[in-house]
Amino acid sequence: MSSSPTDSAILHDPLRVLRKRLSDFVTRTPLPWHGAMRTLLDVFRQHEWQVFVFGGTLRDLLAVSATAAPRDVDLVVAGATGDALREAFSRELIRINRFGGLRLQVQKLPVDIWTLESTWAFQQKLVPGGDFAHLPQTTFLNVEAVAAELDTRKGRARRVYGETFFRAVREQVLEINLEENPYAGLCVVRSLLTARKLQYALGPRLGRYIAHHGARIDAAELEAVQLSHYGCVRLDRNQLMQLIRVVSGKAGATRPRPIELPRARQLEWTPPRPQQFDWYSRGWRSISREDAVWKSTG
């Protein structure tokens, strides 16, 4: 990341910067999300529910831009039951996921909301505790390990939990936070996309994870995961093959170091000969490590 006054402020006091940017996102900045957040706040205040913003929205506000427009907003609620949430947002409700979380459409914008106790890692006893302070421990990636109070009273600092997240932003390294996750394919895809978006390196542990699961999941399945999660394919199977191959080649180093991903324009891919890949049994699994040729060019 190039040096700038904004970058220096983030590195010096990321907590203060995040509080300011979230406050602007919720109450001041005239973005498409402003009206949606006001609508949500009205409901939460009426019911006196505690609500925290969680994960990717906070990541983008700090690591991408003060005016970053999130794909969706994740909200976690304490003091409410699932039934109470469904009743309060019956008009905005689009669907209910397998874990009981709600996908809402608030002023045409997507919001995911669930109760604190229904968080998957809490239910599976993977993370002890179970309050907002422990919520950052439940994410797969360190750059999403952050939770911040949505609403706060004037004169009181907004509560923010995210020591691991702030360290990731300072070091600019994407790493595993909690490895246990039921969706390995989605973790592989999201890790690669997030690293490219932020221009962060991959930590050694995450590199080994991508190499391990990337060799066992068909490229077609990884494309399908993207369609299901994002509604489009952001990395086609050729791009996935290239990136996973790059990571796999570096993940086994004797002295593990952060892995820099090549940028899109730096990648040049030489298509493999048909005998180099067993397309029928594994989709793209390499038969011989040395057969396929990938190279990075400056």
Give the per-residue pLDDT at 266. 53
The dihedral built from the CA positions of residue 31, 35, 38 and 40, taken in this order, carries a sign that is negative
* DSSP H/E element including 251: helix 237-251
Structure tokens, 190: 């999201």
Which domains does the chain carry? 5-171 (3.30.460.10), 183-296 (no CATH)
Place of tokens 């952001």: 234
Report the alpha-carbon distance of residue 9 to residue 23 in Å, rounded.
17
Is the pLDDT at 194 greater than 50? The verdict is: yes
Q: Between 147 and 256, whose confidence is greater?
A: 147
Band of pLDDT at residue 29, cut at 50, 70 and 90? low
Is the pLDDT at 114 greater than 60? The verdict is: yes
Report the alpha-carbon distance of residue 165 to residue 159 in Å, rounded.
15
Residues near 178 by Cβ (< 8 Å), separated by ≥ 6? 121, 126, 127, 137, 138, 139, 140
Give the per-residue pLDDT at 212. 96
Give the per-residue pLDDT at 267. 52
Percent of the chain scored above 90 by pLDDT?
67
Return the closest-CA partner of residue 244 out of 198, 209, 283, 279. Answer: 209
Is the pLDDT at 3 greater than 70? The verdict is: no
Q: Between 145 and 67, whose confidence is greater?
A: 145
Structure tokens, 78: 């304490």
Give the per-residue pLDDT at 46. 95
Return the closest-CA partner of residue 58 out of 136, 118, 114, 133. Answer: 136
Query: Between helices 237-251 and 184-198, what is the axis angle to 10°?
Result: 90
Specify burial of residue 273 (Cβ count, 10 A radius: 0-12, 13-18, 19+). exposed
Q: How far is CA 52 from CA 33, 110, 117, 146, 219, in A?
A: 16, 16, 13, 10, 36
Percent of the chain scored above 70 by pLDDT?
86
Report the alpha-carbon distance of residue 298 to residue 289 in Å, rounded.
24
Structure tokens, 140: 């797969």
Give the per-residue pLDDT at 294. 26
Give the per-residue pLDDT at 97. 85
Instruction: Express each pLDDT in 147-192 by its tens digit.
Output: 999 988 777 889 999 999 999 999 999 999 999 999 999 999 999 9
Please tell me the total number of residues recorded for the chain in this structure. Answer: 298
Report the alpha-carbon distance of residue 231 to residue 115 in Å, rounded.
25
Is the pLDDT at 287 greater than 90? The verdict is: no
Instruction: Express each pLDDT in 234-255 by its tens digit.
Output: 999 999 999 999 999 999 877 8
Residue-averaged pLDDT of the chain? 85
Own/partner pairs for 99-103, CB < 8 Å, 24+ apart? 99/123
Strands (E) located in the chain: 50-54, 73-78, 93-96, 102-106, 109-115, 147-149, 160-161, 173-174, 201-202, 267-270, 293-296
